[in-house]
Chain A
């Protein structure tokens, strides 16, 4: 266990190594939980949405899943639109918000005397691997991390967003996140949602807050709670007041879809959510 040290502290260093080895032996090794590792690994691989505290994720498509705006050619390859918008798009990474996200507050309220917020950070799509690597570093400094955090090249060409919930002065908690191609817009009654608790100390508590993503055209989302009651979120314009008594669907800066938040009454929990108009 000893390292090859070239200092005059050789004995001391070796002793420290021995002390560490001895201390390390104190841990109970147990049996490697192989099946649990596999289950956890599959979950990580399957979910592109990272749900740190939200435990219910629903993805509903209109006809055969989420609509992809990118066209497919006869050979299955993606067809580039004949007219690109490159000339009108911001050209620098800063203008495209590659290194600094655009943040929108989706909802806020007061729970047990503490103010809570749900926000979404939207990071612009990097165009090169160098931009993606720099974006990953910047995300890290914001305490945000994409699903495939060891592979910055996976961010190239993708918008990345993180939805967080903060309560009081506590650290924001990640509710969900994803990296998506700008062509992957939602349509019709497509809906992605995650439910979470409002109690920062009980991640297993009743899931009373539902956050979701819908098409720009969706006008109304109905959240249904386990006690049979429901909350209707209606579409509002960008910058509309955030009122905790009123659920809303609103745009978020940089996002190609709209977002909604529903909050259930104390004592109930999330059952379902769907686009109803």
Chain B
């Protein structure tokens, strides 16, 4: 029993480190997927709760990140399958753009972000997932396919369509052309 208790404590410690260490990154990914602060928090918390349940298996796996990504993408996809209302785009000043625009550059930057998030929100969920995983998470097509539970071909197709749609949005295309960065 002592050994088992010790093993459990070790697992708990490892999970705590995992949660604290991955939380910021997971929040950013969830934010790009959901477009909303609270939805992102809910998605990450739910994902980590499910990870906790399977931690004995996940924690000893080679790539726990892959499991977590899969859970998160499944949860995101499921939400859309059930057609639950999702607040994807920033709607008012209580949402995404919290920065106080005190200079012209900062206003422009906030507008850039808002435009990108709105553009992302207009993508179908699978295209958004493919774009976020490929271009923000920087996953390979194979890793993205594993996370999305689909073929590499489907990833290529969804990512290409998603990016093409983003490019077709006038404001975003211009922003991309000019870099839009500081």
In the assembled complex, the Cα of A12 lies from the Cα of B179 at a distance in Å of: 9
In the assembled complex, the Cα of A3 lies from the Cα of B141 at a distance in Å of: 11
In the assembled complex, the Cα of A29 lies from the Cα of B53 at a distance in Å of: 24
Contact between A26 and B97, CB atoms less than 8 A apart: yes
Contact between A27 and B40, CB atoms less than 8 A apart: yes
Query: A35 → chain B, closest Cβ, in Å?
Result: 10
Contact between B32 and A19, CB atoms less than 8 A apart: no
Contact residues of A: prevailing secondary structure: helix
Contact between A34 and B19, CB atoms less than 8 A apart: yes
Number of interface residues of B (CB under 8 A): 56
Query: What is the 8 Å Cβ interface bit string for chain B, positions 68-110, against chain A (1 contact, 0 not)?
Result: 0011001000100111100000000000111100000000010
The residue from A16, A18, A27 contacting B163, defined by CB atoms under 8 A apart: A16
Task: Determine if A87 is an interface residue (Cβ-Cβ < 8 Å).
Answer: no
Q: Which of A39-47, A58-66, A226-234, A247-255 contacts B (4 or more CB under 8 A)?
A: A39-47
Q: Which of B94-141 contact A (CB under 8 A)?
A: 96-99, 109, 112-113, 116-117, 120, 131-132, 134-136, 138
The residue from B16, B28, B82, B176 contacting A25, defined by CB atoms under 8 A apart: B28
Assuming the A-B contacts A25-B28, A28-B37, are A12 and B167 also in contact, with contact meaning beta carbons closer than 8 angstroms in the complex? yes
For residue B71, which residue of chain A has the nearest CB?
A150
For residue A12, which residue of chain B has the nearest CB?
B176
Query: A53 → chain B, closest Cβ, in Å?
Result: 13
What are the residues of chain B within 8 A of A32 when measuring CB–CB?
Answer: 19-20, 23
For residue A173, which residue of chain B has the nearest CB?
B82
Task: Determine if B145 is an interface residue (Cβ-Cβ < 8 Å).
Answer: no
Contact between B28 and A33, CB atoms less than 8 A apart: no
Task: Determine if B24 is an interface residue (Cβ-Cβ < 8 Å).
Answer: yes
Query: What is the 8 Å Cβ interface bit string for chain A, positions 1-22, against chain B (1 contact, 0 not)?
Result: 1110000010011011111111
Contact between B23 and A20, CB atoms less than 8 A apart: no
Contact between B31 and A171, CB atoms less than 8 A apart: no
Query: A107 → chain B, closest Cβ, in Å?
Result: 23
What 13 additional pairs, Cβ within 8 angstroms, besides A24-B29, A27-B30? Answer: A9-B163, A13-B135, A13-B163, A17-B135, A20-B136, A23-B120, A26-B96, A27-B28, A28-B98, A38-B52, A41-B52, A149-B74, A150-B71
Question: Could you show 12 A-B contacts with beta carbons less than 8 Å apart?
Answer: A2-B138, A15-B179, A18-B180, A19-B112, A20-B135, A21-B136, A22-B116, A27-B30, A27-B31, A32-B20, A37-B19, A150-B50
